[in-house]
Amino acid sequence: MTEKEKCAAGLLYDANYDKELIHERIACKDLCLEYNHLKNSDAENRDRLIRQILGETKERICIEPNFWCDYGYNIKVGENFYANHNLTILDCAEVKFGDNVFIGPNCNFYTAGHPLDAKQRNEGLEYARPINIGDNVWLGGNVVVLPGVSIGNNAVIGAGSVVTKDIPDYAVAVGNPCRVIKNVEENLKSY
């Protein structure tokens, strides 16, 4: 089994020293660098290049520079997707964004995790767990989403939150660690 196959299976794999994975990350980061250096007025090339980087996209997407990811092909982006400046996605596993997702500046999505055992970490081993973001989700600035987390449809994640566990549909969640503080539907009824 290759290291890439181990990663896809959710097993510990060698991310630091495997030549195939290193090559894929370098190629992706070269594309990200090129994307980040395009003028904002060069919409045609920005659109072409972001679609080359990402694994799957819908029609209307906008990712402001700077944008960084590890592989790109593990990222799926829905319709009407917007990410503000300084988005980082460590996409060792799949990262899926639904339709109408809005992401504030300086947000980070990490599918990679590392063993607690120092010997395994020092060998370059890690694991990857997918992240799933539902439809109509808004994530405020400086949000961090950790490996294996799902955020439900119509959820709002407050600025500065560190999302360590799943967030249900219609939740407003904030903090470090992020926790649900109210329900969007109940809040709308009060208006």
Residue 187 has pLDDT above 70, yes or no: no
Determine the Cα–Cα distance for residues 24 and 11; give it in Å rounded to an integer.
19
- Sorting pLDDT into bands at 50, 70 and 90, what band is 189? low
Percent of the chain with pLDDT over 70: 97
- The rounded mean pLDDT for the chain is 95
pLDDT tens-digit map of 101-137: 999 999 999 999 999 999 999 998 999 999 999 999 9
pLDDT tens-digit map of 132-178: 999 999 999 999 999 999 999 999 999 999 999 999 999 999 999 99
pLDDT tens-digit map of 22-38: 999 999 999 999 999 99
Whole-model pTM over 0.85? yes
The C-alpha angle 127, 144, 124, rounded to 5 degrees, equals: 25
Residues tagged active-site = 114
Tell me which residue of 26, 20, 52 sits closest to 38, measured CA to CA: 52
For the chain, list the domains and their CATH numbers. 3-189 (2.160.10.10)
- Sorting pLDDT into bands at 50, 70 and 90, what band is 185? confident
Q: Residue 26 carries which side chain, given as an amino acid letter?
A: I
